[in-house]
Amino acid sequence: NAVMNKNDPPPREIGLLTHQPFQSEMKETTKTESSCFTPFLSQGVVAENENGTHVPVKILRDTGASQSLILEGTLPLDENSFTGLSVLLSGINSELVSRPLHRVWLQCDLVQGVFDLAVCPSLPITGVTVLLGND
């Protein structure tokens, strides 16, 4: 549980929603790429800095997210990329989770530059390595 001080900034919201067709039997569902996401998917590259080794990524543009995310393990992030800050994220269930912010160089059709991305152990859609929010 995160304890918030009245002077703390509010949690950053992430807003990815998806639906699964109802099944009469409860089965384990997987986080697969749905055709409804296709218009919002793109390719890009990330690196520790502009001159670093470019790593290809699949990007999901999420206009409901106020914080961009990167899948843990995509880059060898360390204390050099760590901003010294963590961000509180709140998803659809409103549960707060703290994630470290790392400064990463990102290039895609929509943006190019250095961004502070929250590093997450998993993302909602399999195969997506960057969730591009409104920040």
Q: What's the predicted TM-score (pTM) here?
A: 0.76
pLDDT tens track for 26-81: 444 445 557 888 899 999 999 999 999 999 999 999 998 999 999 999 999 999 99
Q: What is the pLDDT of residue 52?
A: 94
pLDDT tens track for 95-117: 899 999 999 999 999 999 999 99
**Structural domain boundaries in the chain:** 32-132
DSSP string over the chain:
-----TTSPPPEE----------SS------PPPGGGGGGEEEEEEESSTTS--EEEEEEE-TT-SS-EEETTSS---TTTEEEEEEEEE-TT--EEEEEEEEEEEEESS-EEEEEEEEES--SSTT--EEE---
Q: What is the CATH number of domain 32-132?
A: 2.40.70.10
